[in-house]
Copies of this chain bind each other. A is one copy, B any other.
Amino acid sequence: MESKGGSSSGSTSKCGRWNPTAEQVSVLSELFRSGLRTPTTDQIQRISNHLSFYGKIESKNVFYWFQNHKARDRHNKRRKLSSSFPHHSKHLNLLHCQSLAEMYQVSEPENNNRVIETLQLFPLNSYVESESEKLRVHANDDENGDHQHHHHHQCMDHDDDTMFSYTLMGEQMEYPPLDLRLSFL
């Protein structure tokens, strides 16, 4: 609420640290997106000048913003790459590949094999994957039987890859309660 309270000279926050307004962040993000990564001193000065219209800002804030943003962006990208492997890329992987396991057989994670501990039982305490770190596991996937080749017409071939139900377990069971049903993760 305070981030845009003062239109120009941000009086809201105690001047502990720069608190960018939404507009400032937008402009900075756009500059970043446009390819600007390490602005020159001159550019920093200009950016700061113009952003001062939206709130209190100093040149060093701009400098730090770009530095932090560059680093975090790189970090995020790296994490994203390492943690998510191809499930599906268009219909190449998921739909056309006979065995995804061949492609996705990643090595066994050392000790982090199981997934999302928080979810394992009751997920009532909502685990949120935050921007700082979404816990993600490169679990070795066992076979994924996604082999479909569907063309533009329906009549889809249902290779029911995972066709076993709880009836295997013997008795006729009711639907398990919702919260228990999540335990498979």
Contact = CB atoms under 8 A, between A and B. Distances in A.
Interface string A101-131: 0001000101010111011001110111111
A166 to B, nearest CB: 5
A137 B40 contact: yes
Q: Binding site of A, secondary structure by majority: helix, strand, loop or mixed?
A: loop
A17 B132 contact: no
Nearest to A169: B53
Interface string A75-112: 01000000011111000001100001000100010101
Interface residues of A, number: 108
User: Which of A29, A45, A73 is packed against the most chain B CB atoms within 10 Å?
Assistant: A45
A159 interface: yes
Contact of A36 (B114, B158, B175): B114
Contact of A41 (B58, B100, B119, B132): B100
A33 interface: yes
User: Which of A128, A139, A143 is packed against the most chain B CB atoms within 10 Å?
Assistant: A139
Given A40-B85, A45-B162, 12 more contacts: A4-B87, A8-B165, A15-B154, A29-B126, A34-B142, A35-B143, A39-B87, A40-B115, A43-B115, A47-B185, A48-B161, A131-B133
26 contacts: A4-B88, A15-B158, A16-B154, A23-B175, A26-B127, A29-B137, A31-B119, A32-B139, A32-B140, A34-B118, A34-B119, A35-B114, A40-B110, A40-B112, A42-B110, A42-B140, A43-B115, A43-B139, A47-B184, A48-B161, A53-B166, A56-B158, A59-B162, A63-B87, A73-B137, A134-B134
